[in-house]
Structure 1
Amino acid sequence: MVFPSKKDWWLGIVIWGAALLLIIPPILFPNFGVWMTPAFLDKQWIKVILLGSTGVILLWIWFRTNYTVKEKTLQITYGPFKKKVNIDDIRSIRQTKDPFTAPALSIDRIEINYASFKIISISPKDKQTLIQHLLQQNPNIEIK
């Protein structure tokens, strides 16, 4: 079952703003920032590829962040990146508002402790249903 990420409006502004600032200026304003451009970026096409691809990855993360529960695995997808967590290795789950980097598009998150001292925070829209699916496959998960 696939669970989409909850998305905070302010984080959308940050991601979309950064993506557009990385994609649009090198295309529309080729001489923008020439005075502060390193020598290896003298060619316009290099700027478009480097900055544009970074902007595309940000948008890819915005549109493709989700969490899939299947066959004893929680698969976390955020843009081009994927991580798998064995559900049998999950020790505990707790609510968190931790603002640090995570494959989550919201501050309203759940923190998953698994394996030996590994932690990952995710932000599914429907946290309770995701937790229920995880508990069905591993009833030993402690909910804090």
Structure 2
Amino acid sequence: MKFKPKKDLLYGLILLPLGIFFIGFGASFPFIFEANLVSIFVITGLCIPLGFFFLWCWFGTSYLISEETLVVKQGPFSRSITIDKIETIERNTMPLLSSTALSLESYIIQYKPYQTFIIAPENIEEFVGKLQEKNNHIKFTRK
């Protein structure tokens, strides 16, 4: 079952304008500035992919629960977590620090010994319920 991420306006106000800016700046740089060929390739080659990366992270984040795994996709990155290895899911108390989630209301999945990943599905109750159907030992703390 596929779950959409919860998206906060704050993250949208950061990622979307940055993505559009970098794509626009990278595409218009050769026409606006009188720069040498190397500068044009470097600036354009860095800005346009970076802009697409920000947009891909915003539009390409999802959580997929299959029979045995939880697959977290975020832009070009994907992580697969075996559901049997998940120990706890708890509220993230420091959401702005080291979070790849698109919401301030995020949760930490702890799996294996000392391995964690931060998520923010739209409906956390349904998401955790589906995971607990497959592994009833998962402890969920909403705090």
TM-score using structure 1 length: 0.87
Q: Give the corresponding residue for 1:133.
A: 130
Q: Give the corresponding residue for 1:14.
A: 14
For 2:17 and 2:98, locate their aligned partners in 1 and report how far apart those are by CA, in whole Å.
18
Give unmatched runs, 5+ long, in structure 1. none
Secondary structure of 2:24's partner? helix
Correspondence for 2:64 among 58, 63, 68: 68
Correspondence for 1:46 among 42, 51, 66: 42
Does the 8 A contact of 2:26 with 2:45 survive in 1?
no
Q: Deviations over 1:47-101 (max 9, x none)?
A: 2222100110110111010100002101000011000111100111112242123
Question: AA paired with 1:81?
Answer: F
1:85 paired with 2:78, answer no
Question: AA paired with 2:116?
Answer: I
Q: Give the corresponding residue for 2:97.
A: 100
Does the 8 A contact of 2:25 with 2:47 survive in 1?
no
Question: AA paired with 1:118?
Answer: Q
For 1:26 and 1:90, locate their aligned partners in 2 and report how far apart those are by CA, in whole Å.
42
Q: Deviations over 1:102-121 (max 9, x none)?
A: 33110111111110101111
Q: Give the corresponding residue for 1:25.
A: 25
Residue 42 of structure 1: CA displacement? 3.3
For 1:65 and 1:2, locate their aligned partners in 2 and report how far apart those are by CA, in whole Å.
11
For 1:3 and 1:103, locate their aligned partners in 2 and report how far apart those are by CA, in whole Å.
16
Number of aligned residues: 139
TM-score using structure 2 length: 0.88
Residue 142 of structure 1: CA displacement? 1.3
For 1:103 and 1:88, locate their aligned partners in 2 and report how far apart those are by CA, in whole Å.
23
Aligned structure 1 segments of 4 or more residues deviating by more than 6 angstroms: none
Residue 44 of structure 1: CA displacement? 1.4
